[in-house]
Amino acid sequence: MQRYQSIGELPRTLPIFPLTGALLLPRGHLPLNIFEPRYLAMVDAALSTTRLIGMIQPTEPEDKVLKPKLSAVGCAGRIVSYRETEDGRFLITLLGVCRFRATEELSTVTPYRQLRADYSAYLGDMVAPPPDTFPRERLASALRDYLSRRDLKADWGSVMSAPADVLVNALAMLCPFEPAEKQALLEAPGWSERVDTLVALLEMAGEPDTNGQSIN
């Protein structure tokens, strides 16, 4: 199975899966249910070549524009699990490898879109995970308030013991933030900035506005 150790090993051309609200971060795991014919073809092609797919958010509604404009930054993910269902769907999981800047969309005959990816700004994505030193107590406090307002529960043992990057990636990817907020998490320059952004989003959610109403 192809594994990537440096940006020099990453392909400059990526098939892309534009999906609003979907966030893939380096070292994060994103499960996907693939059923559209164009994306079934994309997965087939990826499995036979690089195993990489670029996740990127559109900046226009996908149901109103045939070929929506794309965000400037996405994340390349490697297919690490794959299963085909009896009704022809693919259930896959992507492991985030490295973020990229979309530099040029290609004219292709494939049913799925492809672009040229520039990884040079994200060298840090390919290094070892960050040390387990971050404001865990502040994050846990913000998360507790965030979940309480939504009458949700959490496994607090895992919250307090999970490795830092596992916890931050999981919360960033799973919490129902707005697409622009997820993009902000993706584009945070480094580890500490992503942690700060995540904590700020959790703390802001539900704060009363000037009219005394909660911000959801």
pLDDT in tens, 166-209: 899 999 999 989 999 999 999 999 888 999 999 999 998 855 54
Instruction: Please say if the pLDDT value at position 99 is more than 70.
Output: yes
Q: Which pLDDT score, from 0 to 100, does residue 11 have?
A: 95
Report the alpha-carbon distance of residue 144 to residue 32 in Å, rounded.
28
From 102, 96, 122, 125, select the one nearest 114 (Cα to Cα): 102
For the chain, give the mean pLDDT: 90
Q: Are 205 and 176 in contact (CB under 8 A)?
A: no
What pLDDT score was predicted for residue 132?
67
Q: What pLDDT is attached to residue 214?
A: 46
- In the chain, where the domains are located: 7-126, 136-204
What contacts 149, CB < 8 A, 6 or more positions away? 205, 206, 214
Q: What is the pLDDT of residue 206?
A: 54
CA distances, 26 to each of 64, 163, 172, 191, 212 (Å): 30, 14, 12, 11, 38
**What's the pLDDT score for residue 72?**
97
Top pLDDT among 95 and 1 is at 95
pLDDT in the model for residue 207: 58
Does residue 5 carry a pLDDT above 90?
A: no
Q: What is the mean pLDDT of residues 156-165?
A: 88
CB 120 within 8 A of CB 60: no
> CB-side exposure of 185: number of CA atoms within 13 Å?
30
If pLDDT is split at 50, 70 and 90, which confidence band does 66 have?
A: confident
User: What is the tens place of the pLDDT at every residue in 24-57?
Assistant: 999 999 999 999 999 999 999 999 999 999 999 9
CA dihedral (190, 6, 94, 3) in degrees, to 10, reads -150
SS3 content of the chain, % helix, strand, coil (to 5): 35, 25, 40
Length of the chain: 216
Q: What are the tokens at 167?
A: 């916890």
Specify whether the CB–CB gap between 51 and 15 falls below 8 A: no
Per DSSP, helices labelled H in 48-188 are 136-149, 156-161, 164-174, 179-187
User: CATH assignment of 7-126, given 1.10.760.10, 3.40.720.10, 1.10.10.60, 2.30.130.40?
Assistant: 2.30.130.40
- Give the pLDDT confidence score for residue 1 in this predicted structure: 54
Mean pLDDT throughout 57-70? 86
H helix intervals, the chain: 37-47, 136-149, 156-161, 164-174, 179-187, 191-204
* Residue 12 binned pLDDT confidence (cut-offs 50, 70, 90): very high
Say which DSSP state 123 is in: G
